[in-house]
Amino acid sequence: MSIGIIIMRRAVFLALALIIAVFLTGFIIGATGYVDNVVKAIINEEVRAYRQALSKMPNVNQSYVDKLTRSYQQMLVRTYGLDKPWIYRIIPLVYSTLIFKFGDVQQTSVAEVAGFQLPAKASDVILACLPRTIVMITVAELITIVLALLIAPRITFKIGSLADRIAVIYAALTNAIPVWWLALVMIFIFSYRLGVAPQQFRGVIKVLSTMSSAFMAGNAVSFFSSFGNLLSYVWLPILTIVITLLGPWIYSTRAMLLRMVREDFVLAAVARGLPQKVVLRKYILRPALSPIMTSVLLGLAGTLGGYIITESVFDWPGMGTLYYQAIASGDPATILGLTYILTLVYVVARFILEVLYVALDPRVRL
């Protein structure tokens, strides 16, 4: 079977998985009535506040208040689409999502995560939160991966040495420490005790907005000035995430390489007296490239979903916070948009891996 047919077949399967994921999400939020219940609660709260405001007006009788309240409630029901069955609201929304028309944000709390006010497009809200997650979590993950790939091969031939024992102990400790817990400790030490980090991190919204405007205007001075301000916000979250994730990454990479070290062709290369660097590069790292690439690409793709609790600790308005607010407030357009974007990123990462697998390992073509 040709390589082109293999790649095309796998691309079709991944595309079907993407479509199914979006339709299942729409079915869950529609058929279960979750979004409807949340929206009904919001309508009831708005109606209560409206009735209370009318009751405080002078010379207004109760029957007139009831009439205005009923009219206002019916208007809200039509506005939120509750006058139609869920399938008539969700199916068009799912279709629009698949063609990147995410619709409008319905809840104020969701728009406020991005620093917007209603009316706001779900796509604009997602695009506003995505860079914040990238500069904090994706960059931290990338730094962690680079450090792990530099450290793990160096201890592959030193099993049982002091460096190897330190790496194993460090991995065990950091694997047991939640990122959000370490974030609390780091904020307490560096922000409140030492005063070398901000106490409020939400200012990153303005900094990224200024950087974007300066970049579009070609203002290099303003751009690099804003970049310096950005570093003052991101260094502590990045350091926290790197400290927590580096241990597990070193340990998992070490485990992948150790499986290669025990292979017969590696033992034969060592027996022939080849230099350790040559054995490591040609006989260990190259065969281990496929599982390492899988971990790297899928790990980086997964960071775009954000860390809900860690973002809450740092008050960092990223994708995790946005997803949480969208689910908590029952905003279907944002939920489907986020699900689609994150699943699409995962599918693209998987497709890249499939292409690399076919190119690097002839056995995959069979």
Residues 131/303, Cβ–Cβ less than 8 Å: no
Q: What is the pLDDT of residue 146?
A: 92
Q: How many CB atoms lie within 10 A of CB 346?
A: 20
Q: What is the pLDDT of residue 2?
A: 67
Q: How many CB atoms lie within 10 A of CB 249?
A: 24
pLDDT at 328 over 80: yes
Query: Nearest to residue 334, comparing CAs of 62, 167, 145, 114?
Result: 114
Q: Read off the pLDDT of residues 229-276 as tens digits, 9 standing for 90 and up.
A: 889 889 999 999 999 999 999 988 888 888 777 777 777 877 887 777
The verdict on whether omega for the bond into residue 119 sits within 30 degrees of 0, i.e. cis, is yes
Q: What is the pLDDT of residue 244?
A: 93
Q: What is the pLDDT of residue 142?
A: 93
Choose the weakest-confidence range: 100-104, 119-123, 322-326. Answer: 100-104
For residues 108-118, b (16+ Cβ closer than 10 Å) or e, as one string? Answer: eebbbbbbbee
Residue type, 1: M
pLDDT at 281 over 80: no
Contacts of 317 (CB under 8 A, 6+ apart): 113, 114, 115, 129, 132, 202, 204, 205, 311
Residue type, 194: L
Question: Model's pTM, two decimal places?
Answer: 0.80
Q: Read off the pLDDT of residues 88-100 as tens digits, 9 standing for 90 and up.
A: 777 887 888 888 8
Q: Read off the pLDDT of residues 39-92 as tens digits, 9 standing for 90 and up.
A: 787 788 888 888 888 777 777 777 777 788 888 888 888 877 777 787 877 788
Q: What is the pLDDT of residue 208?
A: 85
Tell me how far apart the alpha carbons of residues 299 and 288 are, in angstroms, rounded to a whole number.
17
Q: How many CB atoms lie within 10 A of CB 75?
A: 11
- With 0-12 / 13-18 / 19 or more C-beta atoms within 10 angstroms meaning exposed / middle / buried, residue 73 is middle
Q: Read off the pLDDT of residues 5-45 as tens digits, 9 standing for 90 and up.
A: 777 888 888 888 888 888 888 888 777 777 777 778 778 88
DSSP 362: G
Query: Nearest to residue 173, comparing CAs of 236, 251, 238?
Result: 251
What ranges make up the beta strands (E) of 186-226? Answer: none
Q: How far is CA 327 from CA 292, 301, 323, 339, in A?
A: 34, 21, 6, 11
Q: Read off the pLDDT of residues 104-155 as tens digits, 9 standing for 90 and up.
A: 888 888 888 888 888 888 888 999 889 889 999 999 999 999 999 888 888 8
Q: What is the pLDDT of residue 361?
A: 61
Tell me how far apart the alpha carbons of residues 42 and 45 are, in angstroms, rounded to a whole number.
5
Average pLDDT over residues 297-307: 86
Q: What is the mean pLDDT of the chain?
A: 84
Q: Read off the pLDDT of residues 149-177 as tens digits, 9 standing for 90 and up.
A: 888 888 877 777 888 888 889 999 988 88
Strand, helix or coil for residue 121: strand
